[in-house]
A and B are shown apart, each in its own frame.
Chain A
Amino acid sequence: MNGVLRGQKLRFLTKREIETIHSATLEILRTVGIKVFSDKILKIFTEAGAETNSESKIVKIPEYLIKEALKKAPKKFILYGRNPKYNIIVDNKRIYFGLGGTPTPYFLDLESGEFRRPTKKDVAEVTRLGDALENISFIMTIAGAYDVPYEVQYLHEYEAIFNNTEKPIVYPAPGAEIAQYALSMASAVAGGEDELREKPFICLYSEPPPPLMMAETDENLIEYANHGVPIALGPTSMAGSTGPVTLAGAAVVSNAQSLAALTLIQTVNPSNPVFYACWVAATDPRTGRHAYGSPEFAFSTSVINSQMARYYELPCFGFAGCPDSNFPDAQAGAEAMMMTLMNTLSGVNLMHDCGYIAGGDAGSMEMAVICNEICGIALKIAKGIEVNDKTLALDVIREVGPGGHFLSHKHTLKFLESGEIYIPKLFNRISKEAWIKAGKKQIYEVARDVVRKILKEHSPKPLSPDVQQKLREIIKNAERKKITR
């Protein structure tokens, strides 16, 4: 299935509207600029020809720099899996779903159904789950290693993920130092820095902080670009708090963040692969929370995001799953489907967050399995239909005639085999009598059984003992250096 999936081109904005957002963004970057809290990044912008002020830390980026960066960024590239059958071919059509996102501070315990702090073991298990799910093509996380020293949390997470999947990995590594360690771990897995550059199996996930800022932690962009490793941008201005309340204006802020980061990356390493993104979340007016399940977030991450990306001829990064609901319930299902279907129908290339719940505060393995089904359904819809002699089946209609049936016809059997009718693996279509007899199981309970089965049965090819040892050594070194107390 991998690599043949096509998204669609859901369109709401006119070409003129896209161009207006684009030129408004250029104007903001040129006249207002971005505030850069890193001397290293400031220096790169200065040398590239941007108007920088070391006092105010404001960088004003001229139009030509952005246009050059847009030209340099590759339109096509490959994100490799440790196993080549999982390679992700990035172009302007293919779409892929991913497990989770950045580490979640909480985790829905499979056995107790209660929230708790996730551990490194959970990171390993959710990775293994993602490795097994057929609609999941890349791995982020729905847990976090909160049982190790926080200074090296990310490194332990990388280790757990590297050891438990053969699929491509997209993951954060905030700050230059963590990035350097993560890159040396990835190099160890790839067989060297050159091998990593040649066939990157990891991609940095980076969220530049809105509005119009770059943090010291964004120095990881420089490290990854220097290693030729792909970078996925995730700028989210929140409408009504870190961006204007109007989606168009907030999109300008997010777009500015993306274009500024893209300019930095292409200055450091021309033609470094980048996933563009332009997201706008709603600030929930009652709680102030980043509303993941909002129609605004679904609309911006799909339609605005993909339309801007197509205008720039860049691949884009977006969302599947990620409900606000705190439990894998009806609300979670509705929110996940809205997001997944919108992004799929817009042709967003990489869609992440399957298995998130609670607005990203928690991960749920049950939700990941539910999302796997939702992704399958969204894909089936995106596929559309073919209209030709074979599918019109006039001969078959003639043959069966009025009052007959198509159940046993060869045409029916043949097309069933090729997937003409979507058959859910998880969602049930049994009668209510059968459902009552089977114990009235809620879908999250059915999903829970699936998780248990996968964790019992599935194990990806392990890394060589040699590489495993190297990873442990790198972490040990980092611990010695970073942990001073």
Chain B
Amino acid sequence: MSENELLNQVAEAVLSFDENKVIEAVRIALKNGVSPIDIIEKGLTKGLRTVGDKFETGEFFLMHMVAAAEITKKAIDKILQPELSKSKTQRKALGKVVIGTVAGDIHDIGKNIVAAMLLSAGFEVYDLGKDVPAGEFVKKVREVDADVVALSALLSTTLPMQRVVIEALESSGLREKVKVIVGGAPVTKEWAEEIGADGYAENAIEAVNVLKRLLNLT
């Protein structure tokens, strides 16, 4: 099988939404000498892009987007990232995003959808989960040298924690290095401006556009 065919197999496996099939296709490609970078960029990402296109046309649903993104992330984390680390090569993702739901808030469906969309768009996503203390965001930003921090909050009572994270980034001297975007039902453009966030998105698709704009990718 040619390299192209192997990569196509990976892309097609993504469209099956079957984790085992994706992992299998990735393993076969690796075994046949395709580079991990190519598998990510020309295989998995291509599959994700097709899922995204089909979502736009209404053929696939949000659930497909999340499923494809989660499977892809697993394949990268489990198999491809270790390979990359071994060979000390770096991925050329659009950017590194640290994302999480702020402390005190355990609502994370919206955040999961945004994380999936960002991954599908080609960002490297570090999802810290929910109820994440400000210090955890800071730690991760430093550890992975992130470009963006994305903060989610659903409750009006936990909304203030978005400000707390921004302040923690400031006092750690990291604020200038990262863009901060905020989201969640009670979040508005005005709130984002008030707390000194760099961007705000009304929904997951918008979040991708906002990030691309902030990082001058468009």
Residues on A close to B: CB < 8 A?
37, 103, 105, 117, 150-151, 153, 174-175, 178, 209, 213, 215-217, 238, 240-242, 283, 285-288, 361
Contacts and interface: CB of A to CB of B under 8 A. Distances in A.
B155 A217 contact: yes
A151 B155 CA distance: 12
Contact of A174 (B63, B106, B157): B157
6 contacts: A151-B160, A174-B155, A215-B106, A217-B104, A217-B157, A242-B109
Contact of B157 (A37, A105, A175, A209): A175
A285 B188 contact: no
Interface in B137-164: 155-157, 159-160
Q: Is the interface of A mostly helix, strand, loop or mixed?
A: loop
B93 interface: no
B157 A361 contact: no
Contact of A288 (B106, B109, B131): B109
Given A174-B157, A215-B105, 8 more contacts: A37-B131, A209-B106, A216-B104, A242-B109, A283-B63, A285-B61, A286-B61, A287-B203
B159 A286 contact: no
A209 B188 CA distance: 23
B33 interface: no
Contacts of B156: 103, 150, 153
A215 B61 CA distance: 30
Which bracket fits the contact residues of B?
Answer: 20 to 34
Interface string B174-218: 000000000001101010000000000001100000000000000
B58 A286 contact: yes
Given A285-B61, A286-B61, A288-B62, A105 B186 contact: yes
Contacts of A241: 63, 109
Contacts of A216: 104
B130 to A, nearest CB: 9
B185 A105 contact: yes
Nearest to B60: A285
B110 interface: yes
Nearest to B205: A287
Nearest to A240: B63
B65 to A, nearest CB: 9
A178 B157 contact: yes
A117 B190 CA distance: 11
Nearest to A174: B157
A-B pairs, top 9 by smallest CB distance, nearest first, are A285-B61, A288-B62, A241-B109, A174-B157, A215-B106, A288-B113, A105-B186, A209-B106, A213-B106
Nearest to A288: B62
A231 B139 CA distance: 40
A234 to B, nearest CB: 14
Nearest to A289: B203
A385 B63 CA distance: 47
